[in-house]
Amino acid sequence: MDIPLKTSGQTPGLSSQPGPCRVPLPPGLLTRSESSMKKRRANSQASIGGFTLIELAIVLAVMALIAVYTTPRYMEQLNQKRAILTAQETQSFLDAARSYRMQNGSWPGQASSCANAKSVLESTSPPTLAGISATNKYNQAVTPACDANTFSITQSIAQDWDGVVANNLPGTVISNASTYTIRSTIGIPGSEPALNSKLSRVYTGDPEMNRMRTPLLLGGNSINEVSNMYLNNGGADARVRTEAGRLILSTPYGGEVAIENGTNLSVENVTLRQRGNANLIDLLPNFVQKGTYLVRHSDGVIKPACPGGGSARASLRPGTMRGGWQEGEVNHGAFGYEYRLLDYGSYWIVSTNIIGSEVERNNLQSLVDVYCYYP
């Protein structure tokens, strides 16, 4: 390396300005600045070189130990969260089914053994169940089922975690240990047996829940909004009775049927208000005519049927009557004609006697009126 030197004189052929003069150094001898630069280059190359294989192996071994320790712990925490959430969602499902039973008297989807219980609970207004998936947190199907008295949910859990979930759910057992399957079961609500003696406001599928088993007492209150009333007393007479005053059946347009106290409304006795509350039977004659027949001698007339305690009666109206005696007519009209109805049990026989010719007697026509008599 050359070392510049300053000179005071001028050299022929050179500039008159003074300039540096470089003096070569002996080989191996460095200046201070060159030595410093060389050290910096050496340090830079060393830093660029990175870890050695031994250092890298040590780092990997440490990371492996950390992974071996933390991975099972992480999976345990993950499954623990899954177990808690699965138990909570299952309990929500069971609570919703119990609430539905209390409101409706049957399990959700009971007609199909509760296979569609989830959709039934979600379709109520407001929804009885919401935010619950058809699979649990272990990605296994949640299967509801029911019978008349119980509702259950069956689902599979991860290995070694079926017991954990089962312990977090009342009424839950491991139904199949080989598949890690558990079943949670609830019965009918505790208040339901006590409600068996109560009437239900809605139809529950069980007619007995809407049927009275004792006389209904309303304490002087009214029954409103009745569509129809059907009476069935097992074949015996059914009664609608008032303890005081009149029994009145009315329409909104002024029509009215009133049964006065002490009177009856029946086929035998009808009270007419427009006739001074007289009984219809008092306004009718005792005889009810059933018909009139044109008859001759020895004809039969059948007696009418008279229900309700009536008796059959008849009246003969002769077509011709003659009497007295006329000179020159032998045995003709000497004593007139005799008309009679002869009783033969279920019918009458017309009998006509005449003192005269037999032809005249047989050709004589008469009228017979038949009646039913009610005393």
Average pLDDT over residues 105-118: 93
Q: Tell me what percent of the residues of the chain surpass a pLDDT of 90.
A: 30
Tens digits of residue pLDDT in 85-95: 999 999 999 99
Minimal CA–CA distance to 155: which of 174, 177, 140, 172? 140
Tens digits of residue pLDDT in 286-327: 888 888 998 888 889 999 999 888 999 998 887 655 554 555
Q: What's residue 283's pLDDT?
A: 78
Q: What's residue 340's pLDDT?
A: 74
Average pLDDT over residues 100-117: 91
Alpha carbon distances (Å) from 312 to 229, 268, 300: 40, 18, 15
Cα(290)–Cα(319) distance, rounded to whole angstroms?
20
Query: pTM above the 0.85 mark?
Result: no
Q: Which two tokens stand for residue 172?
A: 């839950």
Q: What's residue 83's pLDDT?
A: 93
Average pLDDT over residues 18-36: 55
Of 7-11, 24-28, 281-285, 287-291, which range is least confident?
7-11
What are phi and psi for residue 42, nearest 5 degrees? -65, -45
Residue 267's pLDDT band (cuts 50, 70, 90): low
Whole-number mean pLDDT of the chain? 78
Q: What's residue 321's pLDDT?
A: 54
DSSP character at residue 111? G
Q: Which residue has the higher pLDDT, 7 or 226?
A: 226
Minimal CA–CA distance to 288: which of 296, 297, 280? 280
Tens digits of residue pLDDT in 129-185: 999 999 999 999 999 999 988 999 999 999 989 999 999 999 999 999 999 999 999
Q: What's residue 281's pLDDT?
A: 72
Q: Which two tokens stand for residue 102?
A: 């209390």
Q: What's residue 252's pLDDT?
A: 80
Tens digits of residue pLDDT in 206-264: 787 788 888 888 888 988 888 888 888 877 877 777 777 788 888 887 777 777 777 76
Q: Are 152 and 144 in contact (CB under 8 A)?
A: yes
Calculate the dihedral angle through the C-alpha atoms of 358, 364, 367, 370, rounding to the nearest 10 degrees: 10
Q: What's residue 5's pLDDT?
A: 46
- The SS3 of residue 220 is coil
Q: Which residue has the higher pLDDT, 93 or 61?
A: 93
Q: What's residue 197's pLDDT?
A: 72
**32-36, 79-83, 204-208 — which one is most confidently predicted on average?**
79-83
Average pLDDT over residues 327-342: 61
Q: What's residue 36's pLDDT?
A: 61
Q: Which two tokens stand for residue 22?
A: 């470089």
